[in-house]
Each structure stands twice: as structure tokens, then as C-alpha cells.
A = this chain, B = another copy of it.
Amino acid sequence: MAAKKMAIIATKGALDMAYPPLILASTAAALGWEVQVFFTFYGLQLLRKDLSGIAISPLANPAMPMPVPMPVIVSVLPGMQAMATSMMKAKMKKKGVASLTELRDLCQEAEVKFIACQMTVDLFDFEKSDFIDGIEYGGAATFMKFAGESDVCLFI
């Protein structure tokens, strides 16, 4: 039986939505699936060598569980985004959740193919030297061909 295939379009770059593509890709690869991830729009941030700038915003997300209820107007004060980010990171570390870098390494070791959207790279003036090694550059049309053969295709 041929291996299952998963195609992921990763478009978000905030800390919370950075996790799903990397968790799902590494999980599927561990099950022996062939996986390709197309990073476009803010998703390109996940290919940067240094992921320490990936942040989370408590704004506009009333569903985020917070240790204390926080009025929206407090969330816009200077330092609140940094505080939410470091709180979330500390919580994940304490609970044994792998870091984004660890998950990304796991994907690359499991031969998940990472493709950076050339159009977005050009649009946001990214430099190829900003990104990790071992990735490809391509367009939506090429990716669609793989997606059309996939068993699971997700837009994240």
C-alpha cells in the first residue's frame, strides 16, 4: 500500500498557530506519511533560522486561557505581548511540549519537505540567508500538484 500523503499550507506566524503545522507534519511523518509544507504569508516566519521572535498576542482572542482575566485595554499596554509570549513559552516548557525549533528539526529529520513561497519571499523582501538550510523555493502551482494527490490537505 502506498504511503499516505499530507499537504499543509502554513500561513500564520504567531506562536500559537505556529505549532499546528509542525505538530501535524511531524506526527504524520512519524506514521510514515509523505509530507510537504508550503510556507506562505506570515508562515514564512517559521522558516527563519532564529525563531525567538515568534510571539503571541492576547489581543482579539477572547478564547485564550489567561491566568487572570485581563481587560482588553490592559492587553494593549506596552510589554503585554512580550509577557503573554513568555508566559506561554514557560507553560509549554513546564508541560514538556517541544519547542518550535525542536519540532522543526524533527520534521526535517523525518524528511518532511519544506517549501517557501517565492512570491511571499519577494513581497516581504526576505533574504534567503534568513532561512534555515534544506528548504526549497516554489510557487502555488507546483504545490497544488502535490496537494491534488494528497490524502489530507490543510490550510493553517
A interface vs B, CB < 8 Å? 4, 6-7, 9, 11-14, 16-17, 19-20, 23-24, 27-28, 30-31, 33, 40-42, 45, 54-57, 59-65, 71-73, 75-78, 80-81, 85, 91-92, 95, 97, 119, 122-126, 140-141, 144-145, 147-148, 150-156
CB pair A73–B73 under 8 Å, yes or no, is no
Partner of A154, one of B54, B56, B153: B153
Partner of A13, one of B9, B41, B42, B63: B63
20 new A-B contacts, CB < 8 A, other than A31-B141, A31-B145, A72-B76, are A9-B20, A11-B17, A12-B63, A13-B64, A16-B41, A19-B41, A20-B41, A24-B140, A28-B144, A42-B61, A56-B62, A59-B72, A72-B77, A73-B76, A144-B152, A147-B152, A152-B153, A153-B153, A154-B155, A155-B156
- Measured CB to CB, the nearest residue on chain B to A81 is B72
